[in-house]
Amino acid sequence: MEERFTIMHTAGELADWLGVRLEGDPGVELRGVASPERAGRHDLIYAEAEKHAARAQASAALCVIAPAGLAIAGKTVLRAANPKAVFARAAAALLPAPGIAAGIHGTAIVSPAAQLGHGVAIGPYAVVEEQAYIGAGTQIGAHGFIGSRAWIGEECRLHPRVTVYPGVRLGHRVQVHSGTVLGSDGFGYAFDGERYWKFPQIGLLEIGDDVEIGANATIDRGSLEDTRVKDGAKLDNLVHVGHNVEIGEHTVIAAQSGISGSSRLGRRVVLGGQVGIADRCRLEDGAIAGAQAGIPTGKIVRAGAPVWGTPARPLDKFKEQYAWFARLPELGARVKELERRWRDGER
Protein backbone atom coordinates (compact mmCIF):
# COMPACT_ATOMS: atom_id res chain seq x y z
CA MET A 1 0.00 0.00 0.00
CA GLU A 2 1.17 3.58 -0.67
CA GLU A 3 2.76 5.54 2.14
CA ARG A 4 0.33 8.01 3.71
CA PHE A 5 1.16 11.54 4.79
CA THR A 6 0.08 12.55 8.26
CA ILE A 7 0.62 16.26 7.48
CA MET A 8 0.41 17.93 4.10
CA HIS A 9 1.70 21.48 3.71
CA THR A 10 1.87 22.53 0.09
CA ALA A 11 0.44 21.88 -3.37
CA GLY A 12 3.94 21.03 -4.56
CA GLU A 13 4.33 18.28 -1.96
CA LEU A 14 0.93 16.90 -2.83
CA ALA A 15 1.67 16.94 -6.57
CA ASP A 16 4.93 15.05 -6.00
CA TRP A 17 3.18 12.44 -3.86
CA LEU A 18 0.34 12.00 -6.34
CA GLY A 19 2.67 11.95 -9.31
CA VAL A 20 0.80 14.69 -11.22
CA ARG A 21 1.86 17.87 -13.02
CA LEU A 22 1.46 21.18 -11.20
CA GLU A 23 0.64 24.50 -12.84
CA GLY A 24 0.89 27.61 -10.67
CA ASP A 25 2.21 28.23 -7.16
CA PRO A 26 3.69 25.09 -5.52
CA GLY A 27 3.74 26.87 -2.18
CA VAL A 28 -0.04 27.03 -1.74
CA GLU A 29 -0.89 25.54 1.65
CA LEU A 30 -3.51 22.79 1.75
CA ARG A 31 -5.33 21.78 4.92
CA GLY A 32 -8.40 19.89 3.74
CA VAL A 33 -10.83 19.11 0.91
CA ALA A 34 -14.30 20.42 0.08
CA SER A 35 -16.86 21.03 -2.64
CA PRO A 36 -16.23 24.22 -4.64
CA GLU A 37 -19.09 26.05 -2.92
CA ARG A 38 -17.99 25.17 0.61
CA ALA A 39 -14.23 25.40 0.16
CA GLY A 40 -11.99 27.88 1.95
CA ARG A 41 -8.74 29.20 0.53
CA HIS A 42 -6.73 26.23 1.76
CA ASP A 43 -9.14 23.47 0.76
CA LEU A 44 -8.50 21.32 -2.29
CA ILE A 45 -11.30 20.97 -4.88
CA TYR A 46 -11.64 19.17 -8.21
CA ALA A 47 -13.35 19.70 -11.59
CA GLU A 48 -13.91 16.82 -13.99
CA ALA A 49 -15.16 18.59 -17.12
CA GLU A 50 -15.90 21.93 -18.77
CA LYS A 51 -19.35 22.07 -17.15
CA HIS A 52 -17.67 22.19 -13.73
CA ALA A 53 -15.16 24.92 -14.62
CA ALA A 54 -17.36 27.85 -13.57
CA ARG A 55 -17.92 26.37 -10.11
CA ALA A 56 -14.20 25.84 -9.65
CA GLN A 57 -13.43 29.34 -10.96
CA ALA A 58 -15.85 30.95 -8.52
CA SER A 59 -14.61 28.94 -5.53
CA ALA A 60 -12.50 30.47 -2.78
CA ALA A 61 -10.15 27.50 -3.06
CA LEU A 62 -6.67 28.31 -4.33
CA CYS A 63 -5.92 24.80 -5.67
CA VAL A 64 -7.93 22.53 -7.95
CA ILE A 65 -7.43 19.14 -9.57
CA ALA A 66 -8.51 19.24 -13.22
CA PRO A 67 -7.90 17.39 -16.49
CA ALA A 68 -5.54 18.68 -19.15
CA GLY A 69 -7.00 21.47 -21.26
CA LEU A 70 -9.55 22.66 -18.71
CA ALA A 71 -8.78 26.35 -18.18
CA ILE A 72 -9.22 27.69 -14.64
CA ALA A 73 -7.60 31.09 -14.32
CA GLY A 74 -5.96 32.30 -11.14
CA LYS A 75 -5.75 28.85 -9.50
CA THR A 76 -2.94 26.43 -8.84
CA VAL A 77 -3.93 23.39 -10.88
CA LEU A 78 -2.94 19.76 -10.46
CA ARG A 79 -3.42 18.08 -13.83
CA ALA A 80 -4.85 14.56 -13.73
CA ALA A 81 -6.54 12.30 -16.28
CA ASN A 82 -9.01 11.13 -13.61
CA PRO A 83 -9.57 14.10 -11.27
CA LYS A 84 -12.12 12.37 -9.04
CA ALA A 85 -9.86 9.40 -8.30
CA VAL A 86 -6.83 11.62 -7.70
CA PHE A 87 -8.95 13.85 -5.44
CA ALA A 88 -9.92 10.77 -3.40
CA ARG A 89 -6.24 9.84 -3.02
CA ALA A 90 -5.42 13.38 -1.98
CA ALA A 91 -8.24 13.37 0.58
CA ALA A 92 -6.77 10.26 2.18
CA ALA A 93 -3.57 12.22 2.73
CA LEU A 94 -5.11 15.53 3.76
CA LEU A 95 -7.79 14.13 6.08
CA PRO A 96 -6.42 11.60 8.57
CA ALA A 97 -9.25 9.37 9.75
CA PRO A 98 -10.69 10.31 13.17
CA GLY A 99 -9.90 7.96 15.99
CA ILE A 100 -12.31 5.19 16.96
CA ALA A 101 -10.66 4.38 20.28
CA ALA A 102 -7.62 5.48 22.28
CA GLY A 103 -5.71 3.09 24.50
CA ILE A 104 -7.44 0.20 26.25
CA HIS A 105 -10.56 1.53 27.95
CA GLY A 106 -11.06 0.54 31.55
CA THR A 107 -14.40 -1.13 30.83
CA ALA A 108 -13.05 -3.28 27.99
CA ILE A 109 -12.71 -7.00 28.71
CA VAL A 110 -9.56 -8.41 27.13
CA SER A 111 -8.58 -12.02 27.73
CA PRO A 112 -5.07 -12.48 29.12
CA ALA A 113 -4.65 -15.10 26.40
CA ALA A 114 -5.32 -12.57 23.60
CA GLN A 115 -2.39 -11.06 21.70
CA LEU A 116 -2.39 -7.33 21.05
CA GLY A 117 0.11 -5.61 18.77
CA HIS A 118 1.77 -2.25 19.42
CA GLY A 119 -0.65 0.66 19.63
CA VAL A 120 -3.88 -1.34 19.60
CA ALA A 121 -6.82 0.70 20.89
CA ILE A 122 -9.98 -0.85 22.35
CA GLY A 123 -13.06 1.21 23.24
CA PRO A 124 -15.57 1.04 26.10
CA TYR A 125 -17.28 -2.27 26.85
CA ALA A 126 -15.58 -4.10 23.99
CA VAL A 127 -14.74 -7.79 24.46
CA VAL A 128 -11.69 -9.63 23.12
CA GLU A 129 -11.77 -13.35 23.77
CA GLU A 130 -8.96 -15.83 24.36
CA GLN A 131 -6.38 -16.50 21.63
CA ALA A 132 -7.63 -13.63 19.50
CA TYR A 133 -4.89 -11.70 17.71
CA ILE A 134 -5.11 -7.97 16.96
CA GLY A 135 -2.37 -6.39 14.85
CA ALA A 136 -0.48 -3.18 15.51
CA GLY A 137 -2.38 0.07 15.21
CA THR A 138 -5.83 -1.52 14.95
CA GLN A 139 -8.77 0.22 16.65
CA ILE A 140 -11.81 -1.57 18.07
CA GLY A 141 -14.82 0.63 18.78
CA ALA A 142 -17.15 0.64 21.76
CA HIS A 143 -19.15 -2.55 22.38
CA GLY A 144 -17.16 -4.42 19.74
CA PHE A 145 -16.78 -8.18 20.05
CA ILE A 146 -13.75 -10.16 18.87
CA GLY A 147 -14.27 -13.91 19.24
CA SER A 148 -11.75 -16.50 20.26
CA ARG A 149 -9.02 -17.34 17.73
CA ALA A 150 -10.06 -14.44 15.49
CA TRP A 151 -7.14 -12.84 13.66
CA ILE A 152 -7.19 -9.14 12.79
CA GLY A 153 -4.33 -7.51 10.90
CA GLU A 154 -2.61 -4.16 11.30
CA GLU A 155 -4.19 -0.70 11.01
CA CYS A 156 -7.76 -2.01 10.89
CA ARG A 157 -10.68 0.18 11.97
CA LEU A 158 -13.69 -1.58 13.50
CA HIS A 159 -16.37 0.95 14.37
CA PRO A 160 -18.68 0.55 17.40
CA ARG A 161 -20.75 -2.62 17.76
CA VAL A 162 -18.94 -4.70 15.17
CA THR A 163 -19.13 -8.43 15.89
CA VAL A 164 -16.33 -10.72 14.74
CA TYR A 165 -17.20 -14.37 15.37
CA PRO A 166 -14.59 -16.88 16.54
CA GLY A 167 -11.98 -17.88 13.97
CA VAL A 168 -12.69 -15.06 11.49
CA ARG A 169 -9.62 -13.62 9.76
CA LEU A 170 -9.23 -10.00 8.64
CA GLY A 171 -6.27 -8.72 6.66
CA HIS A 172 -4.53 -5.37 7.06
CA ARG A 173 -6.18 -1.94 6.83
CA VAL A 174 -9.71 -3.36 6.85
CA GLN A 175 -12.47 -0.94 7.80
CA VAL A 176 -15.78 -2.29 9.16
CA HIS A 177 -18.65 0.04 9.98
CA SER A 178 -21.07 -0.10 12.89
CA GLY A 179 -23.44 -2.99 13.40
CA THR A 180 -21.78 -5.38 10.96
CA VAL A 181 -21.55 -9.09 11.80
CA LEU A 182 -18.70 -11.16 10.41
CA GLY A 183 -18.66 -14.95 10.53
CA SER A 184 -22.23 -15.82 11.55
CA ASP A 185 -23.62 -19.20 10.47
CA GLY A 186 -24.81 -19.56 6.90
CA PHE A 187 -28.38 -20.50 5.99
CA GLY A 188 -27.84 -24.22 5.53
CA TYR A 189 -30.36 -26.95 6.41
CA ALA A 190 -31.11 -30.48 5.25
CA PHE A 191 -34.72 -31.77 5.16
CA ASP A 192 -35.32 -35.42 6.07
CA GLY A 193 -38.98 -35.43 5.07
CA GLU A 194 -40.26 -34.32 8.46
CA ARG A 195 -37.95 -31.61 9.76
CA TYR A 196 -34.95 -29.47 8.90
CA TRP A 197 -31.54 -30.35 10.32
CA LYS A 198 -28.87 -27.70 10.55
CA PHE A 199 -26.07 -28.44 8.11
CA PRO A 200 -22.59 -27.89 9.58
CA GLN A 201 -21.31 -24.31 9.35
CA ILE A 202 -17.71 -24.89 10.34
CA GLY A 203 -15.74 -23.17 7.57
CA LEU A 204 -13.80 -19.95 7.86
CA LEU A 205 -14.43 -16.37 6.82
CA GLU A 206 -11.34 -14.71 5.37
CA ILE A 207 -11.27 -11.01 4.48
CA GLY A 208 -8.32 -9.62 2.55
CA ASP A 209 -6.35 -6.39 2.82
CA ASP A 210 -7.84 -2.92 2.21
CA VAL A 211 -11.43 -4.15 2.29
CA GLU A 212 -14.18 -1.81 3.48
CA ILE A 213 -17.54 -3.13 4.74
CA GLY A 214 -20.48 -0.82 5.38
CA ALA A 215 -22.85 -0.60 8.33
CA ASN A 216 -25.18 -3.48 9.25
CA ALA A 217 -23.72 -5.85 6.68
CA THR A 218 -23.57 -9.59 7.37
CA ILE A 219 -21.03 -12.03 5.97
CA ASP A 220 -21.44 -15.71 6.80
CA ARG A 221 -18.65 -18.12 7.51
CA GLY A 222 -18.26 -21.12 5.21
CA SER A 223 -20.16 -24.34 5.58
CA LEU A 224 -17.61 -27.10 4.97
CA GLU A 225 -15.50 -24.77 2.82
CA ASP A 226 -14.63 -21.07 3.36
CA THR A 227 -16.13 -17.68 2.56
CA ARG A 228 -13.61 -15.23 1.09
CA VAL A 229 -13.67 -11.50 0.41
CA LYS A 230 -10.46 -10.64 -1.39
CA ASP A 231 -8.19 -7.58 -1.35
CA GLY A 232 -9.66 -4.17 -2.06
CA ALA A 233 -13.33 -5.21 -2.22
CA LYS A 234 -15.87 -2.60 -1.07
CA LEU A 235 -19.28 -3.59 0.36
CA ASP A 236 -21.98 -1.03 1.08
CA ASN A 237 -24.44 -0.93 3.99
CA LEU A 238 -26.89 -3.81 4.45
CA VAL A 239 -25.13 -6.21 2.10
CA HIS A 240 -25.52 -9.92 2.86
CA VAL A 241 -22.96 -12.51 1.75
CA GLY A 242 -23.87 -16.18 2.19
CA HIS A 243 -21.68 -19.13 3.06
CA ASN A 244 -18.91 -20.34 0.71
CA VAL A 245 -19.17 -17.19 -1.42
CA GLU A 246 -16.01 -15.81 -3.00
CA ILE A 247 -15.73 -12.11 -3.84
CA GLY A 248 -12.79 -11.13 -6.02
CA GLU A 249 -10.31 -8.29 -5.74
CA HIS A 250 -11.63 -4.72 -6.06
CA THR A 251 -15.23 -5.79 -6.54
CA VAL A 252 -17.82 -3.21 -5.42
CA ILE A 253 -21.30 -4.08 -4.11
CA ALA A 254 -23.97 -1.44 -3.45
CA ALA A 255 -26.49 -1.40 -0.60
CA GLN A 256 -29.08 -4.11 0.10
CA SER A 257 -27.57 -6.64 -2.29
CA GLY A 258 -27.65 -10.30 -1.35
CA ILE A 259 -25.39 -13.11 -2.54
CA SER A 260 -26.47 -16.70 -1.94
CA GLY A 261 -24.24 -19.58 -0.99
CA SER A 262 -21.38 -20.86 -3.15
CA SER A 263 -21.60 -18.06 -5.73
CA ARG A 264 -18.38 -16.69 -7.19
CA LEU A 265 -17.74 -13.06 -8.09
CA GLY A 266 -14.58 -12.33 -10.03
CA ARG A 267 -12.25 -9.34 -9.95
CA ARG A 268 -13.64 -5.81 -10.42
CA VAL A 269 -17.26 -6.93 -10.57
CA VAL A 270 -19.83 -4.16 -10.03
CA LEU A 271 -23.23 -4.79 -8.38
CA GLY A 272 -25.84 -2.02 -8.17
CA GLY A 273 -28.18 -1.64 -5.23
CA GLN A 274 -30.58 -4.47 -4.30
CA VAL A 275 -29.05 -7.00 -6.67
CA GLY A 276 -30.08 -10.55 -5.77
CA ILE A 277 -27.77 -13.43 -6.68
CA ALA A 278 -29.03 -16.97 -6.20
CA ASP A 279 -26.81 -19.89 -5.21
CA ARG A 280 -23.92 -21.20 -7.30
CA CYS A 281 -23.84 -18.30 -9.75
CA ARG A 282 -20.63 -17.08 -11.32
CA LEU A 283 -19.90 -13.50 -12.34
CA GLU A 284 -16.79 -13.26 -14.46
CA ASP A 285 -14.07 -10.64 -13.98
CA GLY A 286 -15.45 -7.20 -14.82
CA ALA A 287 -19.12 -8.27 -14.93
CA ILE A 288 -21.74 -5.60 -14.15
CA ALA A 289 -25.25 -6.12 -12.72
CA GLY A 290 -27.56 -3.10 -12.61
CA ALA A 291 -29.71 -2.17 -9.64
CA GLN A 292 -32.34 -4.76 -8.61
CA ALA A 293 -31.06 -7.33 -11.10
CA GLY A 294 -32.08 -10.87 -10.19
CA ILE A 295 -29.61 -13.59 -11.15
CA PRO A 296 -31.08 -17.13 -11.09
CA THR A 297 -29.40 -20.20 -9.66
CA GLY A 298 -26.33 -21.36 -11.52
CA LYS A 299 -26.29 -18.52 -14.05
CA ILE A 300 -23.00 -17.25 -15.48
CA VAL A 301 -22.73 -13.51 -16.11
CA ARG A 302 -20.07 -12.74 -18.68
CA ALA A 303 -17.82 -9.70 -18.72
CA GLY A 304 -18.46 -6.95 -21.25
CA ALA A 305 -22.25 -7.23 -21.29
CA PRO A 306 -23.94 -5.49 -18.32
CA VAL A 307 -27.13 -7.20 -17.15
CA TRP A 308 -30.33 -5.81 -15.67
CA GLY A 309 -33.82 -6.95 -14.76
CA THR A 310 -35.25 -10.15 -13.29
CA PRO A 311 -34.27 -12.62 -14.50
CA ALA A 312 -31.09 -10.76 -15.42
CA ARG A 313 -30.50 -10.30 -19.14
CA PRO A 314 -28.17 -8.18 -21.28
CA LEU A 315 -28.86 -4.48 -20.82
CA ASP A 316 -29.76 -3.85 -24.47
CA LYS A 317 -32.26 -6.72 -24.39
CA PHE A 318 -33.72 -5.45 -21.12
CA LYS A 319 -34.23 -1.96 -22.56
CA GLU A 320 -35.94 -3.36 -25.65
CA GLN A 321 -38.27 -5.56 -23.63
CA TYR A 322 -38.98 -2.83 -21.10
CA ALA A 323 -39.95 -0.44 -23.87
CA TRP A 324 -42.53 -2.97 -25.09
CA PHE A 325 -43.67 -3.59 -21.53
CA ALA A 326 -44.32 0.14 -21.07
CA ARG A 327 -46.54 0.08 -24.19
CA LEU A 328 -48.66 -2.87 -23.04
CA PRO A 329 -51.71 -0.77 -21.97
CA GLU A 330 -51.78 0.95 -25.37
CA LEU A 331 -51.25 -2.35 -27.23
CA GLY A 332 -53.88 -4.05 -25.08
CA ALA A 333 -56.41 -1.35 -25.94
CA ARG A 334 -55.64 -1.75 -29.65
CA VAL A 335 -56.09 -5.52 -29.46
CA LYS A 336 -59.43 -5.12 -27.67
CA GLU A 337 -60.59 -2.67 -30.34
CA LEU A 338 -59.56 -5.07 -33.14
CA GLU A 339 -61.42 -7.91 -31.39
CA ARG A 340 -64.52 -5.74 -31.04
CA ARG A 341 -64.44 -4.76 -34.68
CA TRP A 342 -63.98 -8.40 -35.71
CA ARG A 343 -66.95 -9.48 -33.60
CA ASP A 344 -69.08 -6.67 -35.05
CA GLY A 345 -68.13 -7.60 -38.58
CA GLU A 346 -66.38 -4.31 -39.26
CA ARG A 347 -63.64 -4.15 -41.87
What is the amino acid identity at position 92? A
Those residues with Cβ within 8 angstroms of residue 306's Cβ, 6 or more apart along the chain or in another chain: 287, 288, 289, 290, 314, 315
Q: What backbone torsions phi and psi does residue 93 show, to the nearest 5 degrees?
A: -85, -40
What does the alpha-carbon distance between residue 13 and residue 17 come to, in Å, rounded to a whole number?
Answer: 6
172 annotated active-site:
no
- Phi/psi at 265 (nearest 5 deg)? -110, 130
Q: Among 105, 143, 243, 250, which one carries the catalytic annotation?
A: 243
Our CA angle for 262, 263, 268, nearest 5°, is 140
Cα gap 293→82, rounded to integer Å = 29
Give CA angle at 300 (188, 182), nearest 5°. Answer: 40
Whole-angstrom distance, CA of residue 143 vs CA of residue 54: 47
Active site residues: 243
